[in-house]
Amino acid sequence: MQFFFEVLIGGLLSGVLYALVALGFVLIYKASGVFNFAQGAMVFFAALTFVGFLEILPGWTGWEEGGRAVFWLAFVLSLAAMVVLAIATEKFVLRPLVNQPPITLFMATIGLTFLVEGIAQGIWGANVRGLNLGIADVPIEYMMDNFNILISSFDVFAAAVAAVLVAALALFFQYTRIGRALRAVADDHQAALSIGIPLRHIWVIVWAVAGFVALVAGMIWGARNGVQFALTFTALKALPVLILGGFTSVPGAIVGGLIIGASEKLAEVYVGPFVGGGIESWFPYILALGFLLFRPEGLFGEKHIDRV
C-alpha cells in the first residue's frame, strides 16, 4: 500500500508538471482558436535563453555568477525575449493569416516550431546545459521517516509554482480589464471587435503570457532534466492532458494533468511489466481517448452545438 501511494503521489506531482506545459496551449487556444504546436519549442527557446543569459551576464555586468541579481536580470531579459517573440508572431504569422481555417494556422505554428528551434540553437548553440534553481531534488525526510513514502522536494516546489501560476492566471482572467477582454475575444472574435476590443493587442498579450508560462515551465523542466532540445518533447506529454482537460479550460489543464500523471505511473508500474513495459508513450493518449468517447470536448471543454 505504501508503494501504491508513493507511485500515486509521484504521478500526481509529475502531472502538475505536464499541466504547466499544457497551460500555454490552453491560453493561446482560448484566446485565438490556434492550436499552437510551437509551445514545446517556446519552452525550449525560453529555457535556453534564460540559461544563455545566466552564462553571459556575469561577464557583461561584472556581477557575481549565480547570484540573485544575475538570476532576476536573466529572467527579465528572457521574458522580454518571449514578448518580442509574441509580437513578431502576431505581426508576421497571425495577422496575415486571419480568417484562415484552423488547420492552416496549426500548420503555420509547426513552421514556427522549426523557426524557433533554429533560432534558439543558432544563437545559443547546441550544447546541453544544466540549470540549478537552488532547490535540491531530494526526498522530503519527514515523509520518508514517518510514512516511508518518497516525495521529492523539488516536485513539491514545482507543484506549488504551478498552483500559484494557475491561481494568478485565473484571477487575471476573472478580474482584470485585459482578462475580461481576453474572455470576450475567446467567446466571439466578431462581437469583441465590434465593441472595440483591439484584437491584435489581445493576441500579443496572450502570446506573451503563454511565453511567460513557457519560461516558467522551461525553467522547471530544465532544472529537472537539463536544458536541451528534448525540452520540446514536453509538448508531447502535455497533449493528452490537453484533450482530457479540454482545450479551453485552465482548471481543466490542471485536473487533466493530475489524472494523466497519476494513471500513467500506476499503469506503468502495475500493468507495464505484463506487456513488456514502456507503455507511457501511448497510455495517456489511449486514456484520454477513452475519456473523449464519453465527453468529446474533454472534461471541462465548452460544449459545442452543431447547427445546420
Quick check: 28 and 238 in contact, CB under 8 A? no
The neighbouring-strand residues paired with 129 are: 227
Q: Which cell goes with 239?
A: 497533449
Minimum CB distance to another protein, residue 97 (Å): 6
Collapsed DSSP state (helix, strand, coil) of residue 152: strand
> What end-to-end distance do the CA atoms of the chain give, in Å?
53
Name the minimum Å distance from CB 255 to another protein: 16
Identify which of residues 24 and 181 has a Cβ nearer to another protein in the complex: 24
Q: 115 or 192: whose CB is closer to another protein?
A: 115
Question: Least distance in Å: CB of 272 to another protein?
Answer: 7
Question: Which burial class, exposed, middle or buried, applies to 34 when counting CB atoms under 10 A from its CB (0-12, 13-18, 19+)?
Answer: buried
- 197 vs 287, beta carbon nearer another protein: 287
Query: Quick one: 121 or 193, whose CB is closer to another protein?
Result: 121
C-alpha cell at 255: 485536473
* 3-state secondary structure (DSSP) of residue 198: coil
Question: Which residue's CB is nearer to another protein, number 60 or number 114?
Answer: 114
Residue 206 to residue 83: CA distance in whole angstroms: 10
Q: In whole angstroms, how close is the CB of 63 to another protein at the nearest point?
A: 21
Q: How far apart are CA 178 and CA 93, in angstroms?
A: 22
Q: Which three cell numbers stand for residue 252?
A: 481543466
CB of 59 to another protein, least distance (A): 14
Instruction: Tell me how far, at minimum, the Cβ of 68 lies from another protein, in Å.
Output: 19
Which CB atom, from 207 or from 221, has the smaller least distance to another protein? 221
CB 210 within 8 A of CB 24: yes
